[in-house]
Amino acid sequence: MSTSLRLFGLETEYGITREDQRDVDPVVESMELVRAHIHGEFEQQWDYRGEDPHADQRGFRVSGLQQDKEEEEFVQEDALRSLSFYEMKSDLILRNGARFYNDHTHPEYSTPECRTLRDLVAHDRAGERIVQQAADRRNRDLGSPAVQLYKNNTDFHGHSYGCHDNYLVARAIPFSELQAALIPFLVSRQVIAGAGKIGMEKQEQGYRPGGFQLSQRADFMEVALGVDTMFNRSILNTRDEPHADRETYRRLHLIVGDANMCEYATALKIGTTRLVLDLISQHVAPVVELENPVQAIQAFSRDPELKTVVTRTHGAPVSACHIQALYLDAAQKALAGLDEETDWILAEWERVLTLLEQDRRALVGVLDWVTKLSLLERFRQEEQLEWSDPWLVSLDLEYHNVNPERGLYLGVEAEGQGKRLCCEDDILMAMNEGPADTRGGIRGVCVRRFGPQIQAVQWERIQFTPEAGRSQILDLNHAVDPTAVKAIRSALDRAENLSDVGMLSTR
């Protein structure tokens, strides 16, 4: 894969609650949280016209999604509110090129597009800080620390919310090749990227206490392939919204992953997936066809001892670690020496797989599920609790609290046990500036310098207020290669005002 295609990002939906209310309206609370980020009146800028959730990468459009029915119900409920659709969404574009909005029942933070793992981790951590700052402002207005936010994927009542990782992929790669190579990898990726979870859960059946598993999302995967994101969730999502030139690119939109607190888990989740995409682009990905991927992802998740094996259509049964090792071996043979980041991923991928089998205690503060299991097991033994005890569920939830005064993982990190990839200065910079080598950074520059003149924003373009009756548009559809990004950044940096930016088109 060309380095110009190394664009990725994370969309994280946060769990939200108010501890001073028995019945919380998550729509209102999510809206109020997002609005607490800004001073003054909210102005709608996000342009939704470019979004098309019914387009499928397999080459067709679905006539309807299961989630459409729920959206219709939301519309009926929202009609009783005094707020418009746009007011409830409260969609913000931030100084760092990120997007922060109310995804109906959850506040969602989407990082700007990133080209390096260090940038991505810094922007993911910046999102935690930004949403917590909004909660702090909201709580000051309420007069108590009632609003709490959780970077996790379950409410322990049968509902799941996502952390979606996204990658730019060449349209020339047939989707069938992506499907064949990615599904076994994603089924087994949880040994590295799982956030850990107490109990089992289904959307229709609710929560069942007891036991520990690797992943918070595995229980909610129902099909191998599909375009839905709220029902019939798929291991490999097929939504076709490239947010770039459609003839040239795809956007791989993965909904299967957990939200990670550990920086290393985030980096390895994205980094190993990026290497698998490199393998696919070179047609050297391993062949590991699983007989039942949905059954496999759940069976792997429910075995923290990592002994479970699943059947393949051809070949001997395999464990999750064995599958990961097959992909690692292929990547070492094909990609070693490609660049510094690739070699770092290969080395850390191998180290983690080795430690999972030999001494997982060394992975506390590195992988979330190992860290959480260590904390819960220690507490369970001290208090002589069964895995079904509700006390453990509350601790599971607090592991993901992004309030540094309460979050269990943030406590681990504060004690120096969390392995870091970025420093405090990296995070503070990411809260205010986007990556210098992606269009996310361009978006941030426009917000900082020309914010009052922005009329509408999509991922692919920025529309400014009309001049002489004609709209002014900065087209970012082709701003993928670093050279193209640099040219636009240079034009913005030289401009004293918007009229000096020679790259704007009018219509």
Q: Looking at the predicted structure, is the pLDDT value of residue 489 above 80?
A: yes
Q: What is the pLDDT of residues 232-277, one digit of tens each?
A: 899 999 999 999 999 999 999 999 999 999 999 999 999 999 999 9
The residue-averaged pLDDT of 114-134 equals 98
The rounded Cα 88 to chain-centroid distance in angstroms is: 22
Task: End-to-end CA distance of the chain: give it in Å, rounded.
Answer: 36
Q: Looking at the predicted structure, is the pLDDT value of residue 226 above 50?
A: yes
Q: What is the pLDDT of residues 305-350, one digit of tens each?
A: 999 999 999 999 999 999 999 999 999 999 999 999 999 999 999 9
179 burial class (0-12, 13-18, 19+ CB within 10 angstroms)? middle
Q: What is the DSSP string of 78-121?
A: HTTSSS-HHHHH--EE-TTS-EEEE-SSSEEEEPPPBSSHHHHH
pLDDT at 44: 84
Q: Looking at the predicted structure, is the pLDDT value of residue 70 above 60?
A: no
Q: What is the DSSP string of 204-269?
A: TTEEEEEEEES-SSGGG--EEEES-SSSS-EEEE-B---SS-TTTEEEEEE--PPP-SSHHHHHHH
Contact status, residue 258 vs residue 194, Cβ threshold 8 Å: yes
Tell me the β-bridge partners of 93: 99
pLDDT at 502: 83
Q: Which of 16-20, 73-77, 145-149, 372-376 shows the lowest mean pLDDT across its residues?
A: 73-77
CATH 3.30.590 residue window(s) in the chain: 3-429
Q: How does the average pLDDT of the chain come out, rounded? A: 93
pTM score of the predicted model: 0.94
Q: Band the pLDDT of 58: cuts 50, 70, 90.
A: confident
pLDDT at 429: 98
Q: Looking at the predicted structure, is the pLDDT value of residue 81 above 90?
A: no
Q: Looking at the predicted structure, is the pLDDT value of residue 144 above 50?
A: yes
How far is the CA of 398 from the CAs of 127, 128, 143, in angstroms? 18, 15, 22
CATH 3.30.590 fits 3-429, yes or no: yes
Share of the chain above pLDDT 90, in %: 81
The residue-averaged pLDDT of 33-43 equals 90
Q: Looking at the predicted structure, is the pLDDT value of residue 149 above 70?
A: yes
Report which of 423, 462, 465 is spatially closest to residue 439, judged by C-alpha positions. 462
Q: What is the pLDDT of residues 421-454, one digit of tens each?
A: 999 999 999 999 999 999 999 999 999 999 999 9
- The tokens for 447 are 């917000």
pLDDT at 1: 46
Catalytic residue numbers? 103
The residue-averaged pLDDT of 298-306 equals 98
Q: Which of 50-59, 261-270, 298-307 shows the lowest mean pLDDT across its residues?
A: 50-59
The residue-averaged pLDDT of 294-300 equals 98
Residue burial 302-317, b: 16+ Cβ < 10 Å; e: rest = bbbeeebebebeeeee
Report which of 441, 437, 442, 434 is spatially closest to residue 482, judged by C-alpha positions. 437
Q: What is the DSSP string of 36-50?
A: TTSSS-----B-GGG
**Long-range pairs of 219-222 with CB within 8 A, sequence gap ≥ 24:** 219/160, 219/298, 219/301, 220/160, 221/256, 221/294, 221/297, 221/298, 222/294
Q: What is the pLDDT of residues 161-197, one digit of tens each?
A: 999 999 999 999 999 999 999 999 999 999 999 999 9
Q: Looking at the predicted structure, is the pLDDT value of residue 71 above 60?
A: no
pLDDT at 271: 98
- The tokens for 8 are 């990725």
Measured between alpha carbons, how far is 24 from 31 in angstroms, rounded to an integer?
13
pLDDT at 69: 58
Sole residue written with tokens 């929202």: 78
